[in-house]
Amino acid sequence: MIPKKLTAASICAISLAGLPAIAGEAIEAPKADKPSNNGNWCSWLQDDPGKLYDNDDNPFIQEFTITGRFHWQYAYVDGQGSHEGGIRRLSYDTEEIRRFRLGVEMKFLNFFKLETDVDLANDLAPTGLESDHDIEYADIYSATLTFDAQEAFEIKSLDKLDFSIGKHKVTTSAEKDISSREIKTVERSSLSDYITPPSSTGFAIDLEKGPWEITAGIYSGDDEDEFADVKGDNDYFYTFRLGYKAEDPKFFDKAQANLRVIINGDESENATDNPLSEGAFNPDWAVSFGTQTRKGRFDLLTDVIYGENGKEFSMESNGLERRPEREGSFWGVVILPSYWLVEDRLEAVFRYQYAESSQPEGFRISSRYSRRAGESLGFTGPNDLSNGRGDNHHSAYLGLNYYLCGDNAKVMFGVEYDDLDSGSQDVYEGYTGWAAFRMYF
């Protein structure tokens, strides 16, 4: 692991300190008048309040922006879960600062862009521990340096050719492709989470030509709070995306489709027979085919996912132990329609997710919040609720989103039903009620 010398806080500080010197006093930013918001907080929030510098004529720094997002949410879980071989009722509630991030975006030397996001909250309240919502440095969510090769080399045959290095958000599903600033459900589905690695250190290439898009990346298999070593304990994983955006769809206002693939470079090494080193992506491989369409007030997201878990190991009291019940294949679907009840103000959202695996514990539901409830309430046996593993999972979500200021400020309400089985065992059945506030600039 790279020593914690280079943090995003350091990057931000260096960028802020060097901005006046690099920009110089001889070239001033244009004095273009921005539209007056007449004291309207929403207009101010949507008018890039974090953009501190913008001057395309400066050969050194063209743009400097501070970004931020704050997400708070509450959850109430009521249902029954597996406990010591039986079934037990449970009731649990929690609230947390889900995300609090500050970041910097800087365009410089005409063809380069630096983007950083730092997590400033690691709320432990959902685990049952005491938490006073301390705001402090937690980790680097992302920090990338991008080179615009299409513009730099005037490549007319392509519309875009970017090379990026650093810690990336890795997108492996249709839901994950949508930023947390804009998602329509309080949390993404368990199926999406199951194949999504955390932000990972690596290299990516992104190109576009007309309606076609291709993205490919190679990333460290190590899961680190900051930057992973080039060659760590868990080898690498690889991603590929082929996308198509219909330029003039016949039946929709907007339509796009994406095929995504994620492959473990060495599945035996990536945190399976090396369980003491946490891996970023542990299955063998996964494929996602997702679509997003829009017609008037109606939006629809769909995703079909299939993958292989590969070999699974865990460290037990008697040493390393093979876990064949967690191996085999898995697959599932996500269907997420939404409709504007009051255009740009009140939105109704529904999501159905189904996931299945060939082995009794070949799929795992997300930690928020049923698994967290099991952990907090002591449902912690070999396959109790806190483990959240099974072979058949149904989930249905129904929600309302009220937009105070577009996606820049909104409140979200929802209720979700989950049913998870492992063979003949009922692992969890219950409801989660959600309330959330989202804000970003």
pLDDT 10s digits, 405-437? 999 999 999 999 999 999 999 999 999 999 999
Q: What span, in angstroms and rounded, lies between the C-alpha atoms of 178 and 71?
A: 15
Would you state the pLDDT for residue 2? 43
Q: Is the N-terminal amide bond of 244 cis, ω within 30° of 0? A: no
Asked whether residue 286 is domain-assigned, the answer is: yes
pLDDT at 267 over 70: no
Place of tokens 């937009």: 403
Q: Pick the range with the lowest mean pLDDT from 155-159, 331-335, 378-382, 396-400.
A: 378-382
Would you state the pLDDT for residue 194? 98
pTM score:
0.89
Would you state the pLDDT for residue 88? 96
Work out the number of other CB atoms within 10 angstroms of the CB of residue 311. Answer: 14
Per-residue pLDDT, averaged over 216-231, amounts to 92
Work out the number of other CB atoms within 10 angstroms of the CB of residue 41. Answer: 12
Range of the domain at 366: 8-29+37-440
Q: Pick the range with the lowest mean pLDDT from 4-8, 39-43, 64-68.
A: 4-8
Phi, psi of 375 (to 5 degrees): -65, -45
Tokens of residue 426, six digits: 């009922």
Would you state the pLDDT for residue 118? 98
Strand partners, 258: 243, 290
Q: Does residue 391 contact residue 355 with C-beta atoms inside 8 Å?
A: no
Task: Residue 163: give its domain's CATH number.
Answer: 2.40.160.10
Would you state the pLDDT for residue 366? 97
Would you state the pLDDT for residue 20? 46
Q: Does residue 352 contact residue 334 with C-beta atoms inside 8 Å?
A: yes
pLDDT digits (tens, 9 = 90+) for 10-30: 444 444 444 444 444 444 444
Would you state the pLDDT for residue 5? 39
Would you state the pLDDT for residue 321? 83
Per-residue pLDDT, averaged over 51-68, amounts to 98
Q: What is the DSSP string of 374-430?
A: HHHHT--STTSTTT-EESEEEEEEEEEEEESBTBTEEEEEEEEEEEEEETTEEEEEE
Asked whether residue 396 is domain-assigned, the answer is: yes
Rg for the chain, CA atoms, rounded: 23
pLDDT at 263 over 70: yes
The residue count for the chain: 441
Q: What is the largest CA-CA distance in the chain?
A: 75
Strand partners, 211: none
Asked whether residue 347 is domain-assigned, the answer is: yes
Asked whether residue 3 is domain-assigned, the answer is: no
- Overall domain count for the chain: 1
Q: Give the percent of the chain with pLDDT over 70.
A: 87
Asked whether residue 2 is domain-assigned, the answer is: no
Asked whether residue 303 is domain-assigned, the answer is: yes
Q: Would you call 19 helix, strand, or coil by DSSP?
A: helix
Question: Where does the pLDDT of residue 257 fall: very low under 50, low under 70, confident under 90, or very high at 90 and above?
Answer: very high
Q: What span, in angstroms and rounded, lies between the C-alpha atoms of 337 and 191?
A: 17
Residue 20: burial class (beta carbons within 10 Å; 0-12, 13-18, 19+): exposed
Q: Pick the range with the lowest mean pLDDT from 180-189, 219-228, 335-344.
A: 219-228
Place of tokens 């899961």: 223
**CA proximity to 400, closest of 334, 344, 338:** 338
Q: Would you call 16 helix, strand, or coil by DSSP?
A: helix
